[in-house]
């Protein structure tokens, strides 16, 4: 019986559990033996392997986080670390490895693929920063967390006639800020992909209050500046009372949205079909509502560009 192993790596994201469940259940249905590797590449190097049956993935579809747990490992970036990992895969007779993680985890998967391991990637990160997929696992859930947080901020900001500056995650990618900003109707969005004029923003906010607005929300991507820096700048260049909020790891938690559950179920199913078909060294994603796949090399060659049209949508709606 051929063996498929699955691991989750890097920053966790809502829907990773749902992806593991889909991979395991589909793999079992197609006659594979399924193995889970705990704590990502760390567990792979430390030989932390467990057998997974159908019941082991019960009751996880709706849970955030990852029951296999996740980790980051500097050692895995070295040849010696990867040798340990490959030896463990061979020792357990693993034929295929599925890595659920972000771009760093994909680099690791690509290295293993280059060294002859039949490797597959599923885009597990809230950042939405992986090229050749419209969405990453957890991104949609995170947008929902962001919009709920902004709704809470509006209540108190209106009572006190204040400006709220909210800092969201995303590393060097502005998707959480931009798409969360559109969905929440914020007044300004600062993202790494576009230049901004903070003095002009401070002016625009002041004018809004002069017109009778009772609050304003400014969204800043962590790749641009901190909420504290932006809030201080706005206070210096306007007469507005401003408060910074860092949303932080709250963004990575919570039950996955229906979208993330469906998206991961479809990809988890398809990756097993690709194994059946003999396709290897690829990562899956969604483009125009279809589940698609590309080689790791193609993904690293492509650019992840924030949709310029979406930025225009934002600008025309404020």
- Give catalytic residue positions: 127
- Which of 176, 187, 196 has the alpha carbon at shortest distance from 153? 187
- Give the per-residue contact string, 193-212, with ligand ADP (x = CB under 6 A; - = no): --------------------
Distance between CA atoms of residues 73 and 77, nearest Å: 7
Q: Is 171 in the site for ligand F6P (CB under 6 A)?
A: yes
Instruction: Please identify which residue in 126, 149, 153, 299 interacts with ligand F6P, judged by CB under 6 A.
Output: 126
Nearer to ligand ADP, 19 or 163 (CB): 19
**Residues between 210 and 239 with contacts to ligand ADP, criterion CB under 6 A:** none
Q: Is 169 in the site for ligand F6P (CB under 6 A)?
A: yes
Cα separation of the two ends of the chain: 58
Classify strands 33-37 and 3-8 as parallel, antiparallel or unpaired.
Answer: parallel
Nearer to ligand ADP, 44 or 188 (CB): 44
- Which listed range, 8-16, 30-38, 155-163, 251-259, lies at the site for ligand ADP (CB under 6 A)? 8-16
Q: Is 120 in the site for ligand ADP (CB under 6 A)?
A: no
Instruction: Please identify which residue in 18, 111, 125, 128 interacts with ligand F6P, judged by CB under 6 A.
Output: 125
- Which of 165, 136, 146, 157 has the alpha carbon at shortest distance from 249? 146
Q: Is 10 in the site for ligand ADP (CB under 6 A)?
A: yes
- Which of 303, 271, 252, 276 has the alpha carbon at shortest distance from 22? 271
The per-residue DSSP string of 124-135 comes to B-TT---TT-S-
- Which listed range, 104-112, 155-163, 210-218, 307-315, lies at the site for ligand ADP (CB under 6 A)? 104-112
How many binding residues for ligand F6P (CB under 6 A)?
Answer: 10
Instruction: Please identify which residue in 73, 142, 164, 304 interacts with ligand ADP, judged by CB under 6 A.
Output: 73
Nearer to ligand F6P, 221 or 286 (CB): 221
**CA 133 vs CA 11, 145, 198, 314: distances in Å:** 18, 21, 32, 21
Sign of CA pseudo-dihedral 97, 38, 255, 178: negative
Q: Are 92 and 50 in contact (CB under 8 A)?
A: no
- Which listed range, 7-15, 85-93, 201-209, 297-305, lies at the site for ligand ADP (CB under 6 A)? 7-15
Q: Is 15 in the site for ligand ADP (CB under 6 A)?
A: no
Distance between CA atoms of residues 236 and 165, nearest Å: 14
């Amino acid at each position: 019986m051929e063996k498929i192993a699955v691991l989750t790596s890097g920053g966790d994201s809502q829907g990773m559990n749902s992806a593991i469940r889909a991979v395991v259940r589909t793999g079992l249905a197609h006659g594979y033996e399924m193995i889970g590797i705990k704590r990502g590449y760390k567990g792979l190097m430390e030989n932390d392997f467990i057998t997974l049956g159908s019941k082991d993935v019960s009751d996880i579809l709706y849970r955030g986080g990852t029951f296999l747990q996740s980790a980051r490992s500097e050692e895995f970036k070295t040849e010696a670390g990867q040798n340990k990992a490959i030896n463990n895969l061979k020792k357990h007779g693993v034929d295929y490895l599925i890595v659920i993680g972000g771009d760093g985890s994909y680099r690791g998967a690509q290295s293993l693929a280059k060294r002859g391991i039949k490797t597959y990637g599923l885009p597990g990160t809230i950042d939405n920063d992986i090229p050749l997929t419209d969405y990453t696992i957890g991104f949609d859930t995170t947008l929902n967390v962001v919009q709920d947080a902004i709704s809470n901020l509006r209540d108190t900001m209106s009572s006190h006639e204040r400006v709220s500056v909210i800092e969201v995650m995303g590393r060097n990618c502005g998707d959480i800020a931009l798409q969360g900003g559109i969905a929440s109707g914020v007044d300004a969005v600062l993202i790494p992909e576009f230049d901004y004029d903070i003095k002009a923003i401070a002016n625009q906010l002041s004018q809004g209050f002069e017109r009778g607005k009772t609050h304003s929300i400014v969204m800043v991507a962590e790749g641009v500046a901190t909420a504290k820096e932006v809030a201080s700048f706005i206070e210096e260049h306007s007469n507005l009372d401003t408060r910074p909020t860092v949303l932080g790891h709250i963004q990575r938690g919570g039950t996955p949205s229906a979208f993330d559950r469906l998206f991961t179920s479809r990809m988890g199913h398809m990756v097993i079909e690709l194994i059946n078909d003999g396709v290897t060294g690829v990562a899956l994603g969604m483009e125009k509502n279809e589940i698609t796949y590309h080689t790791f090399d193609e993904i690293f060659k492509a650019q992840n560009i924030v949709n310029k049209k979406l930025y225009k949508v934002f600008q025309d709606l404020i």
